[in-house]
Amino acid sequence: MSTLETLPVVGAGPLATAVTAALESRQVQTSATVVVSALDEIDGAEGAVVSLAHWRSLCFVGPRWEPGGRGCPRCLRVRATNPGYGPAPDIKRAKAFGTERGRGLPPWLPRVAAELAVDLAAGADVDPRVWVLDARTGVIDRQALLPDSTCPVCGDDPGHPLPVFNRPGVPFRKLGPAVLRTREIEGDVIGDYLRRGIGLFKEVVDDLDGPLAASSVEQPVRWGAREPAIGRAETYRAARTIAVLEGLERYASLYRGGSPTPVRSSYAELGAAAVDPATLGLHPAESYRTPGSRFAEYSPNTVVDWLPGFSFARNGPVLVPERSVHWGPRDDGEPIFAFETSNGCALGASVEEAALHGLRELAERDSFLLTWYRRLVLPEVEVPDGPFLRKAELTTGCRFRAYLSTMEYQMPSFVLVAECPVGEGPAVVAGSGAHPDPEQALSGGLAELVGAVQYVTYHYAERRERVLGMLTDPDLVTGMTDHAALNCLPEARDRFAFLLDRETDPLPLNEIPSTIRADSPDVRADFATAVANVLACGLDVIVVDQTMPELSRRGLHCVKVVVPGLLPMTFGHHNRRTVGLPRLTGSLPYPGSTNPIQLPHPFP
């Protein structure tokens, strides 16, 4: 029996013809089918296969996959998906290889691709690597295919039901007394995720205009949009690393890969075993009744999916609505109670490290929103002079001011404001920062604020006419960028008067209490302190593990931290979650208006 009888070549066109010719000339013994297709035509696979896929100027040879293995051809399709590099997942129409934008098929490529495919087919073992051939540049690169843990063909089994804390024998030593990280991320780890052909992120973009190095990556999400992740640091090498790590956090918080099988039930049925969704903050009634709203009013009898988390108040498990943990899209028609974001999601080298940073982010957003809605009278804090501040002032022309917004749970927090030069541009841009170390809370918040000022200023002229109407009709604020675009208008400057028009002597930064555990080199001590401070206020800290196999293979962990009662950050004025949160009218460390003022927040 001939090789071709035992090994059919599935597909047509010049690539399939070249594979057939290579098999006939070499007469090798093979055990896998070579499947030739356009990238967007890949679906499932039966038996051992070698994928030979193409899209525009790129050709992908591999992986060699067998049932039971990880990293199948469908995973290749997911990883190669990215506008500009590959098709969006919902594209059904195949693009003919070599015809996009008039490009011809270079004569070398079918022969090379065919020989590589036959080599893989002749192998005896699964090979998760993929040859990426670029017809435009002539570059041939071999890359490891990162298996997709959500793949319906070869996806992983459900992960751990609860996050694992205090693993014995594992060191958690901080990199420095006030550094809440326990390891440096090596360059080769980032290389696993950042690759032009089939990387989770395809390219990095560097911003050369700011006082800090800034880099960004974009993750193609599976409903056709792109999710940006930005890193800022002293060097571009560090900024790129931070951008990739933030992208991984977004990836894990979007998709329920590696999570346990959810519990399908209603809160009325679960009772004390679950978190009451009403305590997480719901939308005003009119928001649910807005024409076209994708949200359904909450009812304890509504059946939804729930995931397990660890409650520190209960010292045990509790169920959390799945949509409060993973904010990516779903097509199953399940009711959505509330708009959700990545707020409280964080990455770390351990569950404790990640949870500490997730809690830090919750504090930052909660203190900012409480300050805005309640018009809190915050003490101003001196912004120490230094190279970064001078660079920020030079590049933006702004005056930067800070206000102490630490709430009752004692996480040092600041509301930050940039007063922009008077003229044909924005007037005020706001931001925030939170960290157990006040100095890092301030510096980190300022770095983010400078980036926001540059972004808002760049787009100010083109957006001004559109957002003017939002001054009198806040319901027109529907997207993330609308918030800062509206509130940066000179006509909106009075909205910040409760902060900016109180000229007092600023507090020295070194007088702000720190909650860093300088007495312990273990990051778990800092996490325990942060949790204890929240519990002392009658609140709970719930940690849900979001770690996907794509992360755990490199020792990374991702979690979602949920603190019922804190104000969640949302975007779009209709999407504000201010119902069922007693702290909007209850006692806080700072005086302010008794009734919340419902103006769209200015968080950028």
CA nearest 359: which of 229, 483, 180?
A: 180
Tell me what pLDDT residue 7 has.
54
pLDDT tens string 211-224: 888 899 987 665 55
Residue 124 predicted with pLDDT over 80:
no
pLDDT tens string 291-307: 888 899 999 999 999 99
Q: Is 143 helix (H, G, I), strand (E, B) or coil?
A: strand
pLDDT tens string 405-434: 999 999 999 999 999 999 889 999 999 999
pLDDT tens string 437-467: 999 999 999 999 999 999 999 999 999 999 9
Residues 6+ apart with CB under 8 A from 434: 360, 361, 363, 364, 367, 411, 412, 413, 414, 441, 445
pLDDT tens string 30-56: 888 999 998 888 877 778 999 999 887
pLDDT tens string 238-269: 899 999 999 999 988 887 776 778 899 999 99
pLDDT confidence bin for 82, thresholds 50/70/90: low
% of the chain with per-residue pLDDT over 90: 66
Mean of pLDDT values over 467-487? 96
CA nearest 203: which of 228, 178, 183?
A: 228
Tell me what pLDDT residue 4 has.
42
Mean of pLDDT values over 501-530? 95
Strands 542-545 and 380-381: unpaired
Tell me what pLDDT residue 165 has.
84
Give the type of residue at 505. D
Tell me what pLDDT residue 86 has.
42
414 close to 441: Cβ distance less than 8 angstroms = yes
Give the type of residue at 256. R
CA distances from 66 to 75, 158, 426, 502, 504 (A): 13, 21, 58, 69, 70
- Within the chain, what is the greatest distance between any pair of CA atoms? 91
